[in-house]
Amino acid sequence: MPGPAIVVEQLVREFRKGPRAVDGINLEVSPGEIYGFLGPNGAGKSTTVLMLTTLLPPTSGRASVGGFDIVHEGAHVRASIGAALQEAALDAILTGREHLMLQATLQGIPKATRVRRADELLERVGLVEAANRRVGGYSGGMKRRLDLALALVHSPSILFLDEPTTGLDLQSRTALWDEVARLAHDEGMTVFLTTQYLEEADALADRVGIIDHGKIVAEDTPAKLKAEIGSPTVEVLPADLATGDAIAEALGRFGSPTRGGRGSLTVQLPDGEAQLAELVRVLDQAGLHVASLHLHQPSLDDVFLAKTGRKLEGAAEEDPDATPEETTKRSRRRRGR
């Protein structure tokens, strides 16, 4: 595909009785790239995905997906994309295979190839054993994998995943990460994925856009975003509390250490983690013993904190736009998955 897979320019969505859910965002996603859209509850992730998948008209701005305008060429956009959305409706009384057959029919897959396509996808997402069981008995992880298979039925070139792993246990989460990474790296699929988990954005995304209150506050590769925050810090726990001052003095050559709980001392390594060896040598030469050393690399959470003044984890609870009713509805949905 020539040109970018997704282009978004000054995209805005206002709700009549609500906030500016999406407030003038710009972004570009290259073919075969995994773009992670990271932000807390209520940030505007789903609203963005709904616009890019043509399910919700923008208030202003423009966007193209697969080279097609989302407002004027909706049918072409829909033919190029697959989407697994947060509100995905699976029918509890249908089996996994029946869902896939139905979707294949809706997508106009010829009758002769429908069964083969369903089998292929069941195999790919690891639902062969459960294929003929009703979805009502599936676990949250199995439902998400079926959602993914359904989005892939017509072999789209661009895939939208809205919080595909929210509420899943770590094992189901990493299984889904592997599959998404394989789709992008082996098949060149473009993936636009929203998440509120920084580990997910970090592990999976080639590039991350951090969204907060409808605005993109930072965008780059995870490595560059973290590098921008600065160098790593080392937390030193003295073996003997009485040596705390001596250790603080020895660490002084790297910067001024801050004191934490249990007598710990934390200092930033201005030249990066390579200085860890020097730090150990300095302490050793001074005859100072430590109980533990902990290297802390900047995380995407530190990036979010630096850009917004809040921690990403738990940021939703402080979201002034979220009504209590919405918050309950959301957490119920998360638990139910």
Ligand X SMILES: Nc1ncnc2c1ncn2[C@@H]1O[C@H](COP(=O)(O)OP(=O)(O)O)[C@@H](O)[C@H]1O
Residues that bind Mg ion (CB under 5 A): 45-46
Q: CB of 41: closest distance to ligand X in angstroms?
A: 4
d(CA 198, CA 291): 30
Residues that bind ligand X (CB under 6 A): 15, 17-19, 21, 39, 41-47, 321, 326
- The site partner of 44 among Mg ion, ligand X, none (C-beta below 5 to 8 Å per kind) is ligand X
- The site partner of 335 among ligand X, Mg ion, none (C-beta below 5 to 8 Å per kind) is none
Q: Give the pair of three-digit tokens for residue 279.
A: 């730090």
- The site partner of 42 among ligand X, Mg ion, none (C-beta below 5 to 8 Å per kind) is ligand X
Kind and range of the H or E element at 212? strand 207-212
Rank residues 195 and 308 by Cβ distance to Mg ion and give the closer one.
195
d(CA 180, CA 147): 13
Rank residues 45 and 117 by Cβ distance to Mg ion and give the closer one.
45
- The site partner of 18 among ligand X, Mg ion, none (C-beta below 5 to 8 Å per kind) is ligand X
d(CA 42, CA 299): 22
Contact 121, 131 (CB under 8 A): no
Q: CB of 25: closest distance to ligand X in angstroms?
A: 11
Helical segments of the chain, H only: 45-52, 74-80, 96-106, 111-124, 140-152, 170-187, 198-204, 222-229, 244-251, 276-285, 300-308, 324-336
- Phi and psi dihedrals of 87, rounded to 5? -90, 15
Q: CB of 266: closest distance to Mg ion in angstroms?
A: 36
- The site partner of 232 among Mg ion, ligand X, none (C-beta below 5 to 8 Å per kind) is none
Q: CB of 136: closest distance to Mg ion in angstroms?
A: 24
Q: CB of 16: closest distance to ligand X in angstroms?
A: 7
Sequence letter at residue 105 = T
Rank residues 266 and 327 by Cβ distance to ligand X and give the closer one.
327
